[in-house]
């Protein structure tokens, strides 16, 4: 059994070695969601993830022989970096097994923290099996990313900090993959505040804990922007704690996660990965569950690929009408394109891209299709631009 005393002891071990990250009230997100929203910025950890807490709490409880033999883990992301970083600080040899197709940047970052990296298998399960084999072969201590009492206790320190910073909280909303974070936080919260509501959030594509708790056989798979919680099998320890101490689990789709990620970037000026945005996504997708409550969200990590972040931003601009594609049919004659561009400019839109098509079209000869990608204020402004181009004598419409 993991107790409050274990979590408080973990907090003492971590003191001064991980960041006591800010827990701040967001007036804007509160106005948007109808709840009083507090944000726990775990993306401000040195490796930009809460995973440092459980990793360091485990490392600090190893005996001398275990420290000398070293630790091993299977991970393609935040657990790898958190363990490698603190093991290097503690002088403990580290081996991380990653799937063969792990992005080079993640491999390089993990090696930069002094870890030996072995690439094995096509997926996480293959890497996990190889890590267990190597642990037995080399006599190293295997550090599970979530199904370990020491890891769970370390993650539980997040709840202690949140309740100290915001005593009025009545609900905690926590991302769930394997369940280490919500299990630790639920144990801490139930001991300190038995009345507090604990709500976990998973993606619709990877509802492993949700399915286990509900006794439903539901497949997990596909690509998810929240790859940090894309876990097919929840932990044995963590599932038992979630069954007992978590009030409910909610599912969110990819669109809600993207919207939440963009809101956090625009409103809070903070970069989170997909997993870090699922708490806010739950508030947006299930507003009646949270309206009028005082809610703490954990922004659990900030390790997102810049290219993916840029794509999310662009898609978000399209969804909110701030990026529009205008299709115009015009005569393929000198001056036509400049006339349309002038009308667009006079209507207050900015042209980002122009695609001029003469060949791959069903239009008659000497006609052309032009697609303008425009910066607009909102959907109403985009509609005004279309009307202005039509009033100037051109056949125009928005292209979805």
DSSP state of 46: T
- Domains, the chain, with CATH or none: 4-48+149-315 (3.40.50.1100), 71-139 (3.40.50.1100), 321-398 (3.30.70.260)
Signed CA dihedral, 222, 127, 102, 280: sign only:
positive
Residue 310: count of CB within 10 angstroms of its CB: 10
Closest CA to 272 of 31, 45, 103, 82: 45
Q: Say if strands 94-98 and 71-74 run parallel, antiparallel, or are unpaired.
A: parallel
pLDDT computed for residue 330 by the predictor: 86
Round to whole Å and give the CA distance between 280 and 289: 12
How high is the pLDDT of residue 136? 96
Q: How far apart are CA 199 and CA 171, in angstroms?
A: 7
| Inter-residue contact 196 to 169 (CB < 8 Å) | yes
DSSP class per residue in 98-146: E-TT--HHHHHHHHHTT-EEEE-SSSHHHHHHHHHHHHHHHTPEE--SS
pLDDT at 177: 93
Q: What is the pLDDT along the chain (400 residues), one digit of tens a residue?
A: 899 999 999 999 999 999 999 999 999 999 999 999 999 999 999 999 999 999 999 999 999 999 999 999 998 789 999 999 999 999 999 999 988 887 787 888 899 999 999 999 887 778 889 999 999 999 999 999 999 999 999 999 999 999 999 999 999 999 999 999 999 999 999 999 999 999 999 999 999 999 999 999 888 888 888 988 988 889 999 999 999 999 999 999 999 999 999 999 999 999 999 999 999 999 999 999 999 999 999 999 999 888 889 999 999 999 989 999 999 998 878 888 999 999 999 999 999 999 987 666 666 667 788 999 999 999 999 999 999 999 999 999 998 8
pLDDT in the model for residue 220: 86
Q: Which of 208, 66, 70 is nearest to 147 (CA)?
A: 208
pLDDT at 369: 87
User: Do 21 and 53 meet the contact criterion of CB atoms below 8 Å apart?
Assistant: no
> Up-side HSE of residue 246: CA atoms within 13 Å toward CB?
28
């Amino acid at each position: 059994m993991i107790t409050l005393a274990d979590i408080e002891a973990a907090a003492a071990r971590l003191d001064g070695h991980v960041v006591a990250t800010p827990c701040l009230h967001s007036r804007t997100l509160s106005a948007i969601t109808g709840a009083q929203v507090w944000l726990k910025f775990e993306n401000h950890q040195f490796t930009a993830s809460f995973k440092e807490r459980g990793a360091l709490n485990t490392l600090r409880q190893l005996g001398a022989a275990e420290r000398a033999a070293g630790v091993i883990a299977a991970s393609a992301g935040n657990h790898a970096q958190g363990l490698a970083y603190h093991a290097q600080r503690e002088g403990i040899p580290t081996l991380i097994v990653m799937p063969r197709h792990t992005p080079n940047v993640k491999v390089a970052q993990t090696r930069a923290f002094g870890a030996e990296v072995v690439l094995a298998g096509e997926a996480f399960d293959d890497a996990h099996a190889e890590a267990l084999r190597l642990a037995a072969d080399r006599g190293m201590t295997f550090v599970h990313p979530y199904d370990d009492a020491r890891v769970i206790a370390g993650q539980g320190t997040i709840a202690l900090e949140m309740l100290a910073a915001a005593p009025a909280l009545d609900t905690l909303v926590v991302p769930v993959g394997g369940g280490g974070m919500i299990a630790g936080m639920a144990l801490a919260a139930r001991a300190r505040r038995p009345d507090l509501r604990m709500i976990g959030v998973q993606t619709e594509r990877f509802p492993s804990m949700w399915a286990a708790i509900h006794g439903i056989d539901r497949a997990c798979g596909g690509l998810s922007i929240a790859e940090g919680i894309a876990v097919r099998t929840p932990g044995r320890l963590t599932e038992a704690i979630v069954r007992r101490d978590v009030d409910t689990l909610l599912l969110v789709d990819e669109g809600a996660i993207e919207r939440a990620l963009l809101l956090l970037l625009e409103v809070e000026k903070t970069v989170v990965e997909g997993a870090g945005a699922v708490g806010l996504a739950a508030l947006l997708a299930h507003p009646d569950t949270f309206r009028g409550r005082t809610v703490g969200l954990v922004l659990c990590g900030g390790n997102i690929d810049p290219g993916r972040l840029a794509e999310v931003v662009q898609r978000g601009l399209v969804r909110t009408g701030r990026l529009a594609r205008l299709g115009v049919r015009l005569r393929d004659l000198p001056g036509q394109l400049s006339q349309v561009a002038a009308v667009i400019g006079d209507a207050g839109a900015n042209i980002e891209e122009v695609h001029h098509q003469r060949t791959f079209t069903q239009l008659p000869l000497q006609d052309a299709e032009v697609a303008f990608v425009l910066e607009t204020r909102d959907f109403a402004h985009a509609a005004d631009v279309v009307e202005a181009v039509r009033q100037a004598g051109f056949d125009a419409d928005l292209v979805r």
